[in-house]
């Protein structure tokens, strides 16, 4: 029995935020869902895909977020209920289509769910979804707890149906990946029948052509929809006030920060002095509701993560309302009480509150604090962020780094997004020298490869994963070829989207739901582009390095596909290629001539430096038997035996 396939109305369950979101979409009568993996959003499509057949949903992992939004929009244009799912950077990718979609309007209810990652717990940015709502002029709603995650998701479809435009739902890591109690609701029937009407009057939003032109007319319509949203939001049950009738200080907050604010107020026993207005509908703001609460207090603290989105909108409203509600004193990002980077937590809110309200607060006993920090410092060993044992990326970066150093022309490698982004760190031999958005490594390399005109003689390498290749590395590769750039592109093909949890991609024979699917062969694609391609096994260090040397020294664009399945992939897990052992009598240890090449440099977690014997040993439990360490051992002490 699964809550994702059964009715179970009224039952209570402990659900992860992302599961609550899925249930909300199912209750709304979803038909179509498309997305591209990205933490913390990935479980949504994964869960929907798992039950897609039972629920008669169409669910796909799209090649990238823009296409995901387009696929979902096709569902909406066909009259179905559709959902697109992505992490925030994906919204940047999809934004061009979104600009046009928001102006053309939708037909069947359509929701865009974006997951933000304040504090960049699993990202390399603190990108903001909220400002897109303002930029794209579409409604934004933000659940503040697990029940709301389900309820607001369901409501988002109703709202979209009412205004005939896409509705943006924003979640954050701490909501998506934490769990709480959720009471289930009624499941609506799916629409189930698709038809795209297109022969009506050209401006008919439900039967004509779907487009953003004529621009002034459509743009105007879009703004009318937004006004309608503001009216609806005035009465939304997701905007909640808790606190005294006339608080000394009003906190205005949204999303998961509501929980931080509540906890902070309670820790300070300030319930009688502070009121909290939690907004679920954060764009457009309902002006009357805001006026009603602003009027209650003279001091306003705005609690939100990263940029001052709410703070700025509320200040604009307060300025307009000043004649009726009087001047207010604002606290938040502008005065520095709430930081503009990193995620928040109750402590930060407590600190802000105690300074505003003049309440002394000691989070913990000084002595305790001191001892805790001592224990943390001395008690926990320093550990490097590194690749898993037997990770093909370690072997690949070992070869890339070695070749570039030996080549001795100050060559460098442009990085990209995936597990292999760790090639930036010492665990990846600090090989990567640039790291930006998906596909940007090869785009940058394409540019660097043209700097020869200005005397640059450094060899240029880019890396990208197999999923990233399809997502956004093909256009820069085409660009490099067409513009006669000079670079070596290395596709680190580990047969899956590893970083986000092995989601399939177009290079694999399986789709999101596990059904068989045509696979697109990366080397053939590159060959089709007319570029020289070779495929090597990164565990074969000698062959990889030989090929890479050849490419580093040749002109033009060359592609090296380093193909070896991820050590953690379900297909490979637990299967050893080799049984490894180290001959103590041959191991040079820390002596001149080796100096712990395996444990210090290669630093696979499967290798242990034995402090007593001053020799390396294999940790049989962790070693997956890739055999790579045997190839880097200068004295032949590491032996591999076919498993």
Partner 1 sequence: MKISGSNELLEQIQNNNLCVGCGACVGICPYFKAHKGKVAMTFSCDRTEGRCYAHCPGTETDYDVLANELFNKPYEEKPIGNYIKIYGAKAGEKAVNGSFQNGGTVTTLMKFAMEKGLIDSAVLTDSIDMIPDPQIVTKSDEIGNFSSTKYMASPTVSKFNEAIKMGHKKIGVVGTPCQMKAIGKIKSNPLDREEFKKPETFLIGLFCTWAVDTKNFIKLLESKTDISKIKSMDIPPPPAEVFILKTETEAIEIPLDDIRKIVPEGCSLCPDMTCEWADISVGAFEGRSGWNTLIVRTKKGEELINSAISEGYLTVEEFPDENVTHLTKGSVGKKKRGLAKREELMKSMDQNDNGSATAPSVVGFR
Q: Is the four-CA dihedral 79, 85, 88, 89 of positive or negative sign?
A: negative
Binding-site member from 26, 325, 626, 637 for ligand SF4 (CB under 6 A): 626
Chosen from ligand SF4, partner 1, ligand TPP, none, partner binding at 245 (C-beta under 5 to 8 Å by type): none
Chosen from ligand TPP, partner 1, ligand SF4, none, partner binding at 607 (C-beta under 5 to 8 Å by type): ligand SF4
Tell me the C-alpha distance between 485 and 477, whole Å: 10
Binding site for ligand TPP (CB under 6 A): 36-38, 65, 87, 89-90, 93, 417-420, 438, 465-468, 492, 494, 496-500
Tell me the C-alpha distance between 133 and 145, whole Å: 21
Pairing of strands 281-283, 140-141: antiparallel
Chosen from ligand SF4, partner 1, ligand TPP, none, partner binding at 580 (C-beta under 5 to 8 Å by type): ligand SF4
CB of 441 to ligand TPP, least distance (A): 10
Tell me the C-alpha distance between 481 and 638, whole Å: 42
Structure token digits, residue 513: 């739901």
Give me the helices (H) in 375-486, please: 392-407, 440-448, 466-468, 474-482
Contact 93, 438 (CB under 8 A): yes
CB of 17 to ligand TPP, least distance (A): 18
CB of 632 to partner 1, least distance (A): 7
**Strand, helix or coil at 88?**
helix
624 is an interface residue for ligand SF4 by CB under 6 A? yes
Give me the helices (H) in 358-450, please: 366-374, 392-407, 440-448
191 is an interface residue for ligand SF4 by CB under 6 A? no
Chosen from partner 1, ligand SF4, ligand TPP, none, partner binding at 76 (C-beta under 5 to 8 Å by type): none
Chosen from ligand TPP, ligand SF4, partner 1, none, partner binding at 402 (C-beta under 5 to 8 Å by type): partner 1
Cα dist. 105→73, 93, 152, 193, 500 in Å? 10, 19, 21, 20, 32
Chosen from partner 1, ligand TPP, ligand SF4, none, partner binding at 391 (C-beta under 5 to 8 Å by type): none
Chosen from ligand TPP, partner 1, ligand SF4, none, partner binding at 618 (C-beta under 5 to 8 Å by type): ligand SF4
Chosen from ligand SF4, partner 1, ligand TPP, none, partner binding at 99 (C-beta under 5 to 8 Å by type): none
Tell me the C-alpha distance between 400 and 424, whole Å: 13
Cα dist. 362→170, 274, 526 in Å? 34, 19, 61
Using CB under 6 A as the criterion, what x/- string covers residues 567-586 for binding ligand SF4?
-------------x------
- Of the candidates 392, 421, 386, 387, the residue with the CA atom closest to the CA atom of residue 566: 392
Please return the burial class of 324, using the count of CB atoms within 10 Å of its CB with bins 0-12, 13-18 and 19+: exposed
Binding-site member from 389, 392, 418, 439 for ligand SF4 (CB under 6 A): 389
Chosen from partner 1, ligand TPP, ligand SF4, none, partner binding at 38 (C-beta under 5 to 8 Å by type): ligand TPP
CB of 427 to partner 1, least distance (A): 13
CB of 482 to ligand TPP, least distance (A): 23
The residue written with tokens 């240029």 in the block is 460
Beta strand spans in 39-106 (E): 58-61, 82-87
604 is an interface residue for ligand SF4 by CB under 6 A? yes
State which residue has the least CB distance to ligand TPP. Answer: 465
- Of the candidates 429, 511, 526, the residue with the CA atom closest to the CA atom of residue 473: 526
Structure token digits, residue 397: 């970066």
Strand order in the sheet with 557-563: 432-434, 412-414, 460-465, 487-493, 557-563, 532-536
Number of residues assigned to the chain: 643
**Strand, helix or coil at 193?**
coil
> Total residues at the site for ligand SF4 (CB under 6 A)?
14
428 is an interface residue for ligand SF4 by CB under 6 A? no
629 is an interface residue for ligand SF4 by CB under 6 A? yes
Cα dist. 593→290, 473, 567, 583, 590 in Å? 72, 41, 30, 16, 8
Which residue, 233 or 420, has its beta carbon nearer to ligand TPP?
420
CB of 119 to ligand TPP, least distance (A): 15
Which residue, 355 or 554, has its beta carbon nearer to partner 1?
554
Chosen from ligand SF4, partner 1, ligand TPP, none, partner binding at 634 (C-beta under 5 to 8 Å by type): partner 1
Which residue, 18 or 497, has its beta carbon nearer to ligand TPP?
497
Which residue, 168 or 395, has its beta carbon nearer to ligand SF4?
395
CB of 617 to ligand SF4, least distance (A): 10
- Of the candidates 46, 49, 44, 6, the residue with the CA atom closest to the CA atom of residue 25: 44
625 is an interface residue for ligand SF4 by CB under 6 A? yes
Which residue, 438 or 512, has its beta carbon nearer to ligand TPP?
438
Contact 606, 577 (CB under 8 A): no
Using CB under 6 A as the criterion, what x/- string covers residues 338-377 for binding ligand SF4?
----------------------------------------
- Of the candidates 107, 109, 108, 127, the residue with the CA atom closest to the CA atom of residue 117: 127
Contact 412, 433 (CB under 8 A): yes
114, β-bridge pairs: 86, 170
CB of 588 to ligand SF4, least distance (A): 17
Binding-site member from 480, 628, 633, 637 for ligand SF4 (CB under 6 A): 628
Chosen from ligand TPP, partner 1, ligand SF4, none, partner binding at 45 (C-beta under 5 to 8 Å by type): none
Chosen from ligand SF4, partner 1, ligand TPP, none, partner binding at 467 (C-beta under 5 to 8 Å by type): ligand TPP
247 is an interface residue for ligand SF4 by CB under 6 A? no
Pairing of strands 32-35, 82-87: parallel
Contact 459, 453 (CB under 8 A): no
Chosen from partner 1, ligand TPP, ligand SF4, none, partner binding at 334 (C-beta under 5 to 8 Å by type): none
Pairing of strands 460-465, 432-434: unpaired
Binding site for partner 1 (CB under 8 A): 401-402, 405-408, 429, 549, 590, 592-595, 597, 600-601, 632, 634
Which residue, 245 or 592, has its beta carbon nearer to partner 1?
592
Interface with ligand SF4 (CB under 6 A)? 389-390, 580, 604, 606-607, 618, 623-629
């Amino acid at each position: 029995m699964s809550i994702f396939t059964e009715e179970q109305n009224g039952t209570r369950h402990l659900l992860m935020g992302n599961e609550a979101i899925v249930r909300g979409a199912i209750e709304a009568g979803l038909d179509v869902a498309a997305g591209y993996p990205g933490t913390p959003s990935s479980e949504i499509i994964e869960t929907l895909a798992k039950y897609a057949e039972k629920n008669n949903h169409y669910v796909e992992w799209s090649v990238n977020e823009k296409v995901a939004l387009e696929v979902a929009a096709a569902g909406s244009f066909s009259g179905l209920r559709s959902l697109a799912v992505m992490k925030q950077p994906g919204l940047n990718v999809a934004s061009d289509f979104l600009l046009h979609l928001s102006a053309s309007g939708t037909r069947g209810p359509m929701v865009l769910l974006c997951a933000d990652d304040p504090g960049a717990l699993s990202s390399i940015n603190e990108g903001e979804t909220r400002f897109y709502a303002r930029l794209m002029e579409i409604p934004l709603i933000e659940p503040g707890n697990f029940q709301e995650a389900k309820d607001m998701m369901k409501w988002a479809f109703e709202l979209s149906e009412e205004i005939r435009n896409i509705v943006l739902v924003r979640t954050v890591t701490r909501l998506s990946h934490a769990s709480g109690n959720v009471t289930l609701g009624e499941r609506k029937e799916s629409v189930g029948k698709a038809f795209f009407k297109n022969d009506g009057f050209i401006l008919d939003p439900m039967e004509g052509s779907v487009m953003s032109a004529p621009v002034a007319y459509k743009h105007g319509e879009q703004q009318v929809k937004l006004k309608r949203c503001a009216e609806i939001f005035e009465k939304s049950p997701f905007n909640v006030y808790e606190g005294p009738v006339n608080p000394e200080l009003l906190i205005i907050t949204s999303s998961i920060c509501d929980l931080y604010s509540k906890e902070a107020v309670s820790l300070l026993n300030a319930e009688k002095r502070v009121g909290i207005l939690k907004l679920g509908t954060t764009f457009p703001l309902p002006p009357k509701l805001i006026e009603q609460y602003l009027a209650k207090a003279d001091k306003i603290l705005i609690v939100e993560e990263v940029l001052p989105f709410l703070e700025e909108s509320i200040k604009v409203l307060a300025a307009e309302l000043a004649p009726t509600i009087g001047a207010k004193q604002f606290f938040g990002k502008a005065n520095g009480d709430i930081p503009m980077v990193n995620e928040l937590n109750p402590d930060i809110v407590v600190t802000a509150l105690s300074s505003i309200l003049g309440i002394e607060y000691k989070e913990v006993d000084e002595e305790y604090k001191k001892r805790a920090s001592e224990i943390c410092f001395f008690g926990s060993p320093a550990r490097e962020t590194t690749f898993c044992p037997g990770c093909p990326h370690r072997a690949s970066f070992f070869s890339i780094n070695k070749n570039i150093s030996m080549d001795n022309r100050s060559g460098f490698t442009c990085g990209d997004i995936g597990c292999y982004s760790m090639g930036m760190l010492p665990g990846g031999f600090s090989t990567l020298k640039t790291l930006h958005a998906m596909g940007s490594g090869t785009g940058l390399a394409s540019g660097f490869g043209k700097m020869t005109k200005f005397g640059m003689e450094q060899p240029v390498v880019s890396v990208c994963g197999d999923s990233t290749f399809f997502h956004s590395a093909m256009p820069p590769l085409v660009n490099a070829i067409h513009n006669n750039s000079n670079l070596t592109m290395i596709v680190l093909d580990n047969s899956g989207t590893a970083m986000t949890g092995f989601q399939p991609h177009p290079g694999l024979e399986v789709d999101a739901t596990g059904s068989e699917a045509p696979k697109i062969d990366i080397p053939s694609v590159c060959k089709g582009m007319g570029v020289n391609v070779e495929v090597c096994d990164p565990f074969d260090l000698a062959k990889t390095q030989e090929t890479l040397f050849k490419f580093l020294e040749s002109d033009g664009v060359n592609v090296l596909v380093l193909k070896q399945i991820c050590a953690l992939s379900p297909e490979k897990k637990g299967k050893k290629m080799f049984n490894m052992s180290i001959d103590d009598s041959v191991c040079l240890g820390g002596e001149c001539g080796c100096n712990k090449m395996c444990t210090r440099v290669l630093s696979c977690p499967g290798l242990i430096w034995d402090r007593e014997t001053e020799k390396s040993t294999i940790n049989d439990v962790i070693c997956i038997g890739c055999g790579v360490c045997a190839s880097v051992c200068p004295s032949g002490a590491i032996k591999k035996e076919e498993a």
